[in-house]
Structure 1
Amino acid sequence: MTSVDLFYVRSMWRNYFFDFATVNARGKSGGIISIWDPSVFVKSKIFCFDNVLIVEGLWVKLKVSVYMVNVYAPQEESEKLILWEVPVGENGNRFSKVNASNFNSFIDRIGLFDMPLGGFKFTRVGFSGKKLSKLDRVLISEELLEVMPSLAATILPSGCSDHRPIMIQMKEGLDKVVEDAWKEEVVGRGLVKVKNKLKLLKERIKGWVKVNKEKSSKDKVRLEYKLIDCEHKIETGMIDEGVFEERNDLLLELEKLNHLENKEMAIKLKYKWSLEGDENSKFFNALLKKKRKQMNISGVKDKGEWIIDPLQVKQVFFDFYSKRFKPFDGVEVVRRSNKLKFLSPDDNDFLVSEVTMLEVKLAVWGCGSDKSPGPDGFSFAFIKKFWDIMKADFFEAVQQFFWKLPFQKVVTPLLLH
């Protein structure tokens, strides 16, 4: 590209919400363009050189300073020496083992990792469509990888250039969704606070699952259309090695997506059965109905009189047990037998001491991870996985038992867990 205008960039980005920087080409090669979402990355400085474009800025969500370096390596080995100060590596279809070794050494020496690329397999497609190459790479520093472990790179469809654009983005994994949701402020304290956070977390996870399902469905449709296109090419005799290789890659991708769908369906069925079990069967409902009839109290006899009115029956039971369990005086322990076991002063101090974080953690880890989830839908396996994020709020909720504060009715489902 010799020059770039706004409409050209918009045709690649598909909307007007973007910012970009460029280095013009020299002749037919060397042109570089970097495009970004200003709500995700905000530039502060731009450095332009021959074959190199550096954009310094802030990754907004994590508030991390980032250098985005875009390099167009020249074809001549002598020019590569000037650019990298070491030979670079792979040159079109002419592959040099010496250059590849030098390129890998260069990556290791400056502490970069070669990110795996998703999407298409090749990064460059000749204008004739017959020459396919993987020339472009995405390298990331170890420090940035620790801060953004969910960073992913995807090769997009070809545009006006023979080089396919590569999109770099943070994929919202479940860990990130849980962490962001749990950090949000909610009303209440103790058990009420935990309940509200779990409610918010459930909504966020549902939204995350919905987005991933939609993306997976679109990816599957896209792969199926591309597979049909490959089949048409094979039937019409438009056959080359690239078509067969692309067809095999598409079949593998479809197999992965189908495997994930089947795995998710099996988990859903298992979860549904753990909640409902035999409750939906006609046999179970018949047994339940019979059991209710057998245990139903149709009436009660009080002072020789048969009572069938429900309110009066309840009152008879209430009066009976009130008399049986009413407090009374007159019993006093004057001396404890030496034969009876009793707690030592240390044991007594331990029982009345404040609960610790370690005790709460041991109690959680003492519960089975694979047990059926509680009314809130979260299993102990989930709580254990994200314990470092949730532990402070759960510890505060447990401490509320010892604060002697009244519990609200809204925490009842949480206590049943």
Structure 2
Amino acid sequence: MIDNFCVKNCWGNFSFEFVCGPFVGNSGGTLCAWDPRMFHKHNSTISNYFVAIQGDWIPSAKRYLIISVYDPQEAFVKRMLWSYLNHVIERWNGETILMGDFNEVRYKEERFGTIYNNHNALAFNSFISSSGLEDVRLRGATSLVPNRLWVRDKKESASMKKSQLKEATEIAQKVKINWSIEGNENSKFFHGMLNKKRNQHAISGILSEGNWIEDPNSVKNEILSHFNERFDSPCSSRLILDGEFLNKLSADQNLDLERNVTNEEIKRAMWDCGTNKSPRPDGFTFGFYRRYWDTIKKDVEAVSYFFTSGTFPKGGNAYFIALNPKMQDAKVVKYYRPISLIGSLYKIIVKILANRLVGVLKDLVNKVQSAFIVNRQILDGPFILDELIHWCNSKKKETMIF
């Protein structure tokens, strides 16, 4: 157990505050100590593999997130940890310092005496890049200094992401230019791309009740029959929950969900749909709507019409359906997944409803649900479970987890 006297032997005096992580296996845990006259801690997070401290650097009055890491040896656990840390760093509005022993290298020349794993190195570099971290080389390292240290400036990270987005946009435009020059001509390039797509998406036959069917009409009927049965209207005698729900919406929340849609809400939903999506069945992309919004915004009043009448204009909910195989060389209908390309009008309405539901979901869904809710992380569950198992092992307690 680490106490003040243990830290004093490392620090040199008692002018410090500290946070320490638990012992895991043969590791000695993680210790973070600081001078309270220089750094003021607001809160901290302690896990088996890292210690995160949030606070203010007093001389500059800047907010810092300082994370000390001691990565496990298992590659799967390391990637889970990196994903979680990436989520924590992205949510932090301030500077970040990440340091510690990551049990991984970025480049082959950094590996001595053991086998270099290129796959793990790529995953580690992807974590560093996606988190917007900059590698800081340390000199004169001692046993008290971490093996690696990264820093992240919020403004520089945003600038870097903007630059990466611009580069990706330019690449996408070059691809479209290449297609517009060569793809629309009666050329070898065009027919090669067309045949490749046809071979990838064609359904040559279906296996039904042990019989192989190749006749196009029979294949269509088999597919139609299968999905008619899957998506048919539910039976009239359905299960009814008779009881009080623990979480309910307030009267104000109900009124907010049912309020009339505004032009600003329609515009926000339009901007949330992105610009580089495939063209809708009507031939228009959301990039087109956004670019000419001032001209055509009155034509999108059909969205308001839906919220007042509850019906779509004729053709407003038309969509294309395609079958995507769930596995290579799929032979049975159940191994195909239907996807649809819905119209712009339908997409905007769905986005408005989704934006309204996001604001009330956190009041309806229990706190133990850690996925698919804003500001909740799906990896919280595995980390809590890992810490629970470690605590049970250290206390030598028998445990049943289900």
Q: Return the TM-score normalized by structure 1.
A: 0.29
Flag the structure with larger Rg: 1
Structure with bigger helix share is 1
